[in-house]
Amino acid sequence: MVNTLSKQRGGTAGNIAYNLALLKIPVGIVGIAGVDFPEYAKFLQNAGVDISKIQAAQNNLTSSAFIMTDKADNQITAFYPGAMEFADKLSLQEITTDLVVISPNNPQAMVNFSKQCQTLKIPYMLDPGMQLPALSPGDLKEMLNGAEILIGNDYEISLLKEKLTLDEEQILNQVKILITTLGEKGSRVQTKNDNLEIKAAKPTAVLDPTGAGDAYRAGFLAGYSKNLDLKICAQMGGIASCYAIEKYGTSNHTFTVEEFNKRYQENYEEELKEI
């Protein structure tokens, strides 16, 4: 028996894009959705997300996740791919962008996007997440080799190291930046020359951890897109994740850039001038 049941907007791409749009960063989604997408599409569009590159798969539903969360915030997820099964047919060929985020998707689509980014010389953040078990060591190595940023939580990064028999030094010989999110302990950002331990920002309440990682990615990328110091980028990620944690669902929160800046200053005792 479960106490609550609610249908919410979600999806890794939608979550990241929504938070980037709140931070006034131009963002678009390349993906594929089903016949039940129009309402969510309108929400994203109204938020400022470019949805023109999202294709429709007729006679299919949009991919959906069914998540059970216990009182200690442990989660078990069942995932129905739906229209995402056709994502391997998508292309970045006509896309103009400064950076691509390759987040959990149809595994073959993730491999294809990585290869396309490498061919087109587009920098990308690799975020294999829940698809790590589905990606072969060979594919993971190829995807990692061309990435500018690798991101995952501590479990995911440990799993990747084990699967590829790599240590952090070897990973940093391939990627420019390694980000490990640590939940309530904050995050770690590593380069060849730096090892930054970033303290977590403080949420006013912890209602739902779902989507916090996606919000962190958006906050980090908002700073990264403006060439800010990596410590500031990670702290921005921490602030963004707080907003997600404080609301049930992954995109029911909202904030202005001014509110974000104020909260950043309250948590990290420094002014965020560039956003």
3-state DSSP assignment of residue 64: strand
Closest C-alpha among 21, 47, 65 to residue 210:
65
- The answer to whether residue 135 scores a pLDDT higher than 90 is yes
How far apart (Å, rounded) are the C-alpha atoms in residues 237 and 6?
Answer: 26
Sign (positive or negative) of CA dihedral 269, 73, 134, 249 = negative
Sign (positive or negative) of CA dihedral 228, 234, 238, 243 = positive
Domain ranges of the chain: 12-262
Contacts of 241 (CB under 8 A, 6+ apart): 201, 212, 213, 215, 216, 219
Contacts of 237 (CB under 8 A, 6+ apart): 181, 187, 198, 215, 216, 217, 218, 219, 220, 223
pLDDT at position 70 is: 85
Q: pLDDT tens digit string along 109-133? A: 999 999 999 999 999 999 999 999 9
Q: How many CB atoms lie within 10 A of CB 134?
A: 13
pLDDT at position 58 is: 87
Q: Residue 199 in contact with residue 186, Cβ under 8 Å?
A: yes
71: confidence class by pLDDT, cuts 50, 70, 90: confident
Q: Percent of the chain beyond pLDDT 70?
A: 100
| 111 sits in which H/E element | helix 107-120
Q: Which pair of structure tokens corresponds to residue 112? A: 């294809």
pTM comes to 0.94
pLDDT at position 22 is: 98
73: confidence class by pLDDT, cuts 50, 70, 90: confident
How far apart (Å, rounded) are the C-alpha atoms in residues 198 and 10?
Answer: 27
3-state DSSP assignment of residue 195: strand
pLDDT at position 114 is: 98
pLDDT at position 2 is: 86
Q: Averaged over 123-144, what is the pLDDT?
A: 96
Q: Residue 201 in contact with residue 235, Cβ under 8 Å?
A: yes
pLDDT at position 269 is: 95
pLDDT at position 147 is: 98
Q: Averaged over 19-36, what is the pLDDT?
A: 97
Q: Averaged over 258-270, what is the pLDDT?
A: 97
Q: pLDDT tens digit string along 179-232? A: 999 999 999 999 999 999 999 999 999 988 889 999 999 999 999 999 999 999
3-state DSSP assignment of residue 152: strand
Q: Residue 219 in contact with residue 17, Cβ under 8 Å?
A: no
Question: Rounded to the nearest 5 degrees, what angle is found at the Cα of 127, between the Cα atoms of 121 and 128?
Answer: 110
pLDDT at position 148 is: 98
How far apart (Å, rounded) are the C-alpha atoms in residues 9 and 250?
Answer: 7
Least confident interval from 59-68, 71-80, 82-91, 214-223: 71-80
275: confidence class by pLDDT, cuts 50, 70, 90: confident
User: How many residues are there in the chain?
Assistant: 275
What CATH number was assigned to the domain covering residues 12-262?
A: 3.40.1190.20
